[in-house]
A and B are shown apart, each in its own frame.
Chain A
Amino acid sequence: MTAELVRGQNHPLPEVRLGIRVSAGTPVVAAVSLGDDRGRAHLPECVAHPGAPVLPGVEVTRQAAADHLLTVDLEAVHESVHRVSVLLVLPAGGAHPARFGAVAAPRVAVSRPDGTELAGYTVTGLDSEAAVVALEFYRRQGTWKVRAVGQGYAGGLAALLTDQGLPGAAALATAVEAAASPDATRAAPAPARPPAEDRRSARPATAPSGAGHGDAATAHGPGTARPASADAGRTTAGHGRPAHPKPPSDTGTSRPPDPDDTRGTSGSSATPSAPVPAASPAPSPPEPEASAPAPGQPPAARPRASGAGPVDCTHPSRRPAAPPAPSGQPAQPVAGDATGWSMEERLYNQVRGMFEDLARTTAAYRSAVDFADDRRDQELDQVLSDPRNRIDGAGDAARDAVRARHAELVDRAGEVFDRDLAQLAAESEVVEPALPPAYARWDYPVWHGYRVPTQTPMAVRLGDLHLPESPSLRIPLLIRLPLERGLWIDSGPSATDADSAADDAGTRRRAVDVAVAVAARLLAIHPAGEFDVHVVDPAGSAAQALVPLVQAGVLTGPPALGAAGVTEVLSRLTERVDLVQMAVRGGAPDALPAGLGASRQLLIVNGFPHGFDDRAVTRLRYLADEGPAAGVHLMLVAAREDASAYGPLLDPLWRALLRLTPLPDDHLADPWVGHAWTYEPSLVPPGSAVLHLVLSRLAKARRHGSR
């Protein structure tokens, strides 16, 4: 049974031989440092890294990759070692994200040698950090325990190792970086690619460099390391702090803030506004007074010089997410650059902010162009009606002048619009890869590292929105959870191309696919057992599309067939709503029978109104109205004309549901200016195994949970 750890949490280990699986959406370097009872690593040989991958009891992988399997044998480490820390470092280099805030949250899992997971930890809430202590193993009364640390360092590996008291931290950091071969990793693909590709292209990195640095990590003299050391120190000190507070003090790693520490670096940290983004350390000349110690200094002086950097007492969600922008230029977009208590909420607000900004900037552009058009038409009318303009070329000249004025205004509006779009596109580029599964498209790598969540997310992505002016800029359509309105997936002919008939079957099939994708997503983002899906498919027409859900065994039962099935499922859910309502009104929600707990229900109805009699239609409407408050949600896959026999009776039902179309269609309006946005559903890419993977993990977690 896997324990999902949160920051600072510890967990006993039944074994000493352990595998540590690292899954990140982007290539990272994994390293392990061995510390004494105070968490100090004394020698560069205490760090296992790609350049020196094997230490007694520890083995790490030899290159930067999106997935690692490290092995640790805690029996075999030296008895003076009390702490074994697992470090993740982003490789430096052009094509790589330089901070963890720009990539999907990495996950570290500790498993038995046979692969059974013991504990997992997703390192969330990172921002400008380039290196992070993910986990640590520590001795406690003769046994080993694991703790989720998640301490990040904006100054990268050098700052991290300096904090662990390692002599020559910067030299070692440089060596690690060289060993992970920035040359090769620089050529590696962008983080949005699936991890498998990253691994493949990063592999050649190891051969030349790994051999060269085999166990000669210390061979780098102070001379080569000096610039990096000064630089790393400056970044940490100039930025003031890494962005995260220490884990709770029971870790033993956090030192009480030493007054001397702050004094020691106050000179450099007093000017935090220096526009040096912590994420991109630029080469700088060595500064002897920089806070990171030079490799030759006596150890006693070291903590004093470097200690102030990593201690951070600010609330993690109150810190500014973005470094101050150089004046006169728009700020570099940063994922999570919005208000909120958690990264998830910040991303939600940021996406909403982008949605509003795109709506408004498009409104500005449209209104400028409309005004230019109106003005041109009016002025052309005037030109025509003026008799003087009928003489020779005067009229033509006047018309040309009018058109030039029009073109000039439209061009200026277009310039401003393009500037805004470029800024939003840049923001979208950093935000999209950072989105958690609930907000991510099915083709994002974050889904491949899917774990069954322990908490219901704030919102869910139902698809993408875009405007005709900017078709490439997609805004995620995030809907708050729990769903307040039911969903209606329109399987009727779309308004845009009404040639239907031949295409009718295709649209219906696609509508069911959308329903399956949405239902699978809702299942996946809720904790196991807190979301149940019931399917009513009276005609059995969706059987094929429903196969993934049925096979994975994540439905409450097989899809209900025929009128009898409709009646049975509807009466069960209606009764549930009645009971929940009664319990809530009576103030006794605890009195509900077992099985009627807090879990939410989703009812998928395919092919409405086939198989529905009047009574069933009434029940369905009741569920649509009263269900959401009682935790029963409705998803209707239907074509409106199929229900035309009911006349206007069902209009309120349709209006009460959020309409989604299986094909891109502009039917959704934003709440600010009311543009018609083109909605495109988020489907599982054809041939992708991600749905199977996600559902099987979910099914497994459910089986474990129900035991």
Chain B
Amino acid sequence: MTVNLTKGQAISLQKNDGGSLSAVRMGLGWQAAPRRGLFGSRTREIDLDASAVLFAGQQPVDVVFFRHLVSDDGSVRHTGDNLVGGAGQGGDDEAILVDLERVPVHIDRIVFTVNSFTGQTFQEVQNAFCRLVDESNGQELARYTLAGGGDYTAQIMAKVHRAGAGWTMTAIGAPANGRTFQDLMPAIQPHL
């Protein structure tokens, strides 16, 4: 069962059987720009990027994005940059895998963001979505539809933070503007 998250809604990443999640994947998918005429290579490609920022308290400690695909501790992995998007059929074009059990003890929250590197706003992108999946069974935990999301080039998706022994996810869904995650840092701060 997929939860279509609304802004500020929190879901606990406890499984139905009481065990907490061990691994989640943030997937990002969008439809490639339509080919233009004869010189297909001059199509203005749409490049969305998924990033994850690891915080210890208020302090950003590490970041996983297309230039740094694995966090230093190895617990957060980006599967690689996709520069053009996919078929728009719901498959993930970029994914970030988080092994929650291996996240270092001092990191207590992880914020996921999406940026439009090529500058198109989400209004112009077809079939863009972002979702969180429980990696152990492939079940979708939450999904956002980005497409038609307004005149923004970035979105702060969600944060996963420690609560007791396990982890909880809170949907943020705050629109922002920026080319990479660095531009979003001021926008992230209020949501920590």
Known: A371-B59, A371-B61, A375-B57. A673 touches B105 (CB 8 A): no
B42 on the A face (CB < 8 A): no
Would A364 and B75 count as touching, CB distance under 8 A? yes
8 Å CB contact of B105 from A356, A357, A363, A409: A409
Least CB distance from B70 to A in Å reads 7
Contacts of B74 in A (CB 8 A): 356-357, 360-361, 363-364, 672
| A interface footprint on B65-86 (CB within 8 Å = 1, 0 otherwise) | 0000010111100000000000
CB distance from B73 to the nearest CB of A (A): 3
Chain A positions 85 through 111: 1 when the CB is less than 8 Å from some CB of chain B, otherwise 0: 000000000000000000000000000
Residue A412 is within 8 A (CB to CB) of chain B in the complex: yes
Do A360 and B59 touch across chains, with their CB atoms under 8 A apart? no
Distance of A42 from chain B, by nearest CB (Å): 52
Contact B105 A367 (CB under 8 A): no
Q: Pick the contact of A367 from B57, B70, B102, B104 — CB < 8 Å?
A: B104
Tell me if B56 counts as interface (CB < 8 A to partner A).
Answer: yes
How many chain A residues touch B (CB < 8 A): the figure is 19
Collect the chain A residues with CB atoms within 8 Å of residue B59's CB.
371, 374
The answer to whether B70 and A409 have CB atoms under 8 Å apart is no
Chain A contacts of B70 at CB under 8 A?
360, 672
B45 within 8 A of A: no
- Contact (A360, B73) CB under 8 Å given A413-B104, A413-B105, A416-B105: yes
Residues of A within 8 A of B57 (CB): 375
Report the Cα distance A364→B57, complex, angstroms: 16
Q: Mark A615-631, 1 if CB is under 8 A from B, else 0.
A: 00000000000000000
Main DSSP-derived SS at the A contact region: helix
Q: How many residues of B contact A (CB 8 A)?
A: 14
Which of chain A's residues 342-382 have a Cβ closer than 8 Å to chain B?
A: 356-357, 360-361, 363-365, 367-368, 371-372, 374-375
Judged by a CB distance under 8 angstroms, whether B62 is at the interface is yes
Asked whether A372 and B73 contact (CB < 8 A) given A367-B61, A367-B62, the answer is no
Residues of B within 8 A of A357 (CB): 74
Q: How long is the Cα–Cα vector from A705 to B165 in the complex, in angstroms?
A: 66
Q: What 1/0 flags go to A685-700 for Cβ under 8 Å of B?
A: 0000000000000000
Q: CA of A409 to CA of B102 in the docked complex: distance in angstroms? A: 15
Contact (Cβ within 8 A) A364 B56 = no
Please give, as numbers and ranges, the residues of chain A lying within 8 Å of B73 by CB-CB distance. Answer: 360-361, 363-364, 367
Asked whether A416 and B104 contact (CB < 8 A) given A367-B61, A375-B57, the answer is: yes
Q: Residue on A with the closest CB to B75?
A: A364
Answer whether A364 and B61 are a contact pair too, CB < 8 Å, given A371-B56, A372-B106, A409-B106: no
Q: Which residues of chain B (155-188) have a CB below 8 Å from chain A?
A: none
On whether the beta carbons of A368 and B106 are closer than 8 Å, the reply is: yes
Question: By CB atoms of chain B within 10 A, which of A356, A361, A364, A372 has the most?
Answer: A364
Q: Which residues of B contact A363 (CB under 8 A)?
A: 72-74
Q: Bound complex: CA of A371 vs CA of B103, how far in Å?
A: 14
**B106–A371 CB distance below 8 A:** yes
Contacts of A367 in B (CB 8 A): 61-62, 72-73, 104, 106
List residues 654-707 of chain A with CB under 8 A from any CB of chain B: 672-673
Chain B 41-65: CB-based contact to A (< 8 A → 1; otherwise 0):
0000000000000001101011000
Give the docked Cα–Cα distance between A672 and B77 (Å): 13
Closest Cβ neighbor of A409 among chain B residues: B106
Query: In the bound complex, how far is the Cα of B62 from the Cα of A416, in angstroms?
Result: 19
Nearest-CB residue, chain A, relative to B62: A367
How many whole Å from A329's CB to the nearest CB in chain B?
A: 13
Tell whether A365 pairs with B104 under 8 Å between CB atoms, given A371-B59, A371-B61, A375-B57: yes
| B72 in contact with A368 (CB, 8 Å) | no
- In Å, the complex CA distance between A368 and B59 comes to 12
Shortest A386–chain B CB gap in Å is 19
Provide the residues of chain A in CB contact with B102, threshold 8 Å: 364
Which A residues from 408 to 438 make CB contacts under 8 A with B?
409, 412-413, 416
Shortest Cβ gap from B140 to chain A (Å): 23
List of A residues within 8 angstroms of B105 by Cβ: 368, 409, 412-413, 416
A361 to B104, CA, bound (A): 9
Q: A371-B59, A375-B57 are in contact. Are A413 and B106 (CB under 8 A)?
A: yes
- The CA of A364 and the CA of B62, in the complex, are separated in Å by 11
Q: Which residues of B contact A (CB under 8 A)?
A: 56-57, 59, 61-62, 70, 72-75, 102, 104-106
* 14 CB < 8 A contacts A-B: A361-B74, A363-B72, A363-B73, A364-B75, A367-B62, A367-B72, A368-B104, A368-B105, A371-B56, A413-B105, A413-B106, A416-B104, A416-B105, A672-B72
- 17 additional contacts, CB 8 Å, given A368-B104, A409-B105, A672-B74? A361-B74, A363-B74, A364-B72, A364-B73, A364-B74, A364-B102, A364-B104, A365-B104, A367-B62, A367-B72, A368-B105, A371-B61, A374-B59, A409-B106, A413-B106, A672-B72, A673-B72
